[in-house]
Amino acid sequence: MTSALDREPSKPRIELQFDRPHRQHEPRDQLAVRYRIEGCDGEHIRAIEHSVLWYTEGKGEEDLGVHFFQRITDRTMMPPTAITGAFSTPLPQSPLSYEGVIVKVRWCVRVRLFFDGSRDFVSEHVFDVGQIPPARMPVARA
């Protein structure tokens, strides 16, 4: 028999669906997502955070810009009462997704679950804003 204290923490899964195919959006588009939470195995969730943000990747320190943020603490809107959720936001005009050589800009939707105690779980879903082609390799100076 396993007590609650020495039970392995659950491994939640969040299935998230974008309203547009290929996760391709243009600036000022309305972004709408629906998600479903599974695998919490009775663990108590005390808050859920929705966010739409961009972050940088590459050689530099990671920078982050949050465009949309929502924290839900209403127990009727989280498991086990409700295992699905949805939110939407208009996208800004910039920055556009960019695949550079040492700097990359990515957009993503994050759904973060806060369990009792200090544990949290975040599910990240990348999408594109704009259609900037990847940067070429560095130019060789003459």
Partner 1 sequence: MRLPRFYAKKRGHRRTGSREWGVVGDGVFHATLLLAGLCFGGLLVSGVAAPEWRINHEFRETTGTILAKGLAKTTMADPPATVITHWRPCLLVRYSANGVVHESWSQGPTATTTSDREVALRRLAGWTLGDETVCWYDPEAPKTVVLQRGYNWWLWLLSLLLPGALVLIGGTGLVRALRAWGKSEEHRAASAGITELLDPLAQPTLAAPGYPAVPACDDLVNSPGTVLRYRLPIESPESWTLVGFGLFALLWNAVVVVLAVGAGLDLLGGRIDWWLFALLVPFVGVGIAGVTLFIRSLVFATAVGPTQLEISDHPLLPGGRYDVFLAQGGTGTFQTLTLSLELEEQATFRQGTDTRTEQLVVWNQPVAAFHDVGAAPHSRFETRAIVDLPADAMHSFTSAHNAVRWRLVVRGSPERWPEFCRTFPVVVFPRGFASPESASPPAVVRVRTASEEVSP
Binding site for partner 1 (CB under 8 A): 27-28, 49, 51, 53-69, 71, 92-96, 98, 100-103, 105, 110, 112, 117-124, 130-133, 135-139, 141
Nearer to partner 1, 79 or 105 (CB): 105
Shortest Å distance, C-beta 54 to partner 1: 7
Shortest Å distance, C-beta 81 to partner 1: 22
Q: For 92-123, give one letter per residue: b (16+ CB within 10 A) or e.
A: eeebebbeeeeebbbbbbbbbbbbeeeeebeb
- In sequence order, the 6+-apart residues with CB closer than 8 A to the CB of 140 are none
Q: Is there a contact between 96 and 130 (Cβ–Cβ < 8 Å)?
A: yes
Shortest Å distance, C-beta 119 to partner 1: 6
Nearer to partner 1, 16 or 103 (CB): 103
Q: Which amino acid is at 83?
A: I
